[in-house]
Amino acid sequence: MLAPSSGVAPSAVAFPAPASSTPTATSVQKDLSFSYTDTALLPPSFPGVDTTTLNAPFVPQGVSVSCKNCTLTGTIDILQGSIAGNTSSLDSDDDEFSWDQGTFTFQANDFSAHIELEATILPSVDLLSYEAPIPAIGLPGFQIPGIGVVGPIFKPAVVIGTRISSQADFSYGFELTVPNNSSIVLDLGDPESSTVNGFSESSITALPFTTAIQNIALTVSAAFRPQLLLGVSILSSSASLGAGVFFNLPTVSATISQVAQVNSKCEPLPIGNMTSNASTTVDDILQDVFGSLTHVEPAVGLDFGVLAEANLGISNSREVGLQNVVTIFNTTFPLPTTCLSFDPEKSTLGPVPAMATAGGEADTESGMMSAADRTVEDPTERLRYMVGLLLGVTLFFVNL
């Protein structure tokens, strides 16, 4: 199974410029909702947006990624920040600033996402990832009384990764629900002491993998990777600092493979391990056997981190290298596997169909059919199917 990558910490970012005037607010709340349907991400084509400002990566000809449905809802609160440090250096001769302690608290409410991506991907031996930026969302500025002015910005992005032997078109994604009052506390004095609460309890569901290609095998991942960045200007000085949080919320990855001579759950047939005293008979097993199915084994990765840099000379357009970047939480865990069947008439993957009984009618409760009623359209698959049955029966009698 493909393990979700935890290497998501940014190496450089462009912090936002703080407001030119001093806001009266000491905290901020912002609705971060957006919705893009059938919208190209790579190369980008957002309605009404100058996509040259997105800094989208170059992609080879033949590669495309789009949002079939990328929807985010929810609000973020940035609670009153605090900074305590060396302010004696803030004079006309020395504009450097250092801090001993300080915090920013970021809190999410009613936060959920549906990220469903469509992609055309070229073959690759290694796992290739493409990060697609989504238009940034500006937040109102606020002040830290007696210290400085803060300008926040939310920069969402989605990532798709694949390893596949031939060019393919497919769709994949996930749904996410974050518990209310989930928060990250950024500790400026000791970033490694920053904390994350609630986000790790998020509900995550993988969306169905779909493709028009039969017998496909690949590894695939889809991720929502936003950053929430702060640009802080120090009062009565040109000194500045940048801080923020980054998320991998989440990465959903899957290993997709073809399996043969299995039951409707993609489990191997147990005939070779049967004995004469087994409660399950050969006929029972042959009532639920498939020549070829598609097995999807998904997993989830979650990563959260913080960053902070001083004396930046913040600019909207200039990326700065980061030194103080800390991942404060990461975990991976599996999701339930799924078993899919390719429908040649519809040219798509779907649930394993309900089987038929010996009378020829569908048995929706058992999902089985008798061996006599089973048909395999492809001659090659029919041959494999019959050979598999003969081998299974032979092994059974050998064990008697």
pLDDT for the residue 367: 34
pLDDT for the residue 366: 33
pLDDT for the residue 65: 93
What is the three-class DSSP state of 228?
strand
Q: Is the pLDDT of residue 373 over 50?
A: no
In whole angstroms, give the CA distance from residue 112 to residue 377: 43
Percent of the chain with pLDDT over 90: 45
For Cα atoms 220, 11, 172, give the angle at the middle one, nearest 5 degrees: 15
Confidence of residue 10 (pLDDT cuts 50, 70, 90): confident
pLDDT for the residue 393: 54
pLDDT for the residue 170: 94
**Predicted structure pTM score:** 0.80
Burial 254-283 (b: 16+ CB within 10 A, else e): bbbbeeebbbbebeebebeebeeeeeeebe
Q: Is the pLDDT of residue 399 over 60?
A: no
Are the beta carbons of 302 and 202 closer than 8 angstroms? yes
Query: Mean pLDDT: which of 2-11, 81-90, 137-146, 308-317 is highest?
Result: 137-146
List the beta strands (DSSP E) in 263-391: 290-310, 320-321, 325-334, 338-343, 348-351
In whole angstroms, give the CA distance from residue 355 to residue 290: 10
* pLDDT, mean of residues 387-399: 55
Confidence of residue 125 (pLDDT cuts 50, 70, 90): confident
Instruction: Tell me: cis bond preceding 43? Omega within 30 of 0 counts.
Output: yes
In whole angstroms, give the CA distance from residue 261 to residue 391: 11
* pLDDT, mean of residues 8-20: 77
Greatest alpha-carbon pair distance for the chain in Å reads 94
243-280 residue pLDDT tens: 899 999 999 999 999 999 888 899 887 755 555 555 55
The amino acid that residue 121 corresponds to is I
Which uninterrupted H or E stretch holds 383? helix 379-398
pLDDT for the residue 90: 46
Q: Over the chain, what is the mean pLDDT? A: 80
pLDDT for the residue 374: 41
Confidence of residue 225 (pLDDT cuts 50, 70, 90): very high
pLDDT for the residue 107: 96
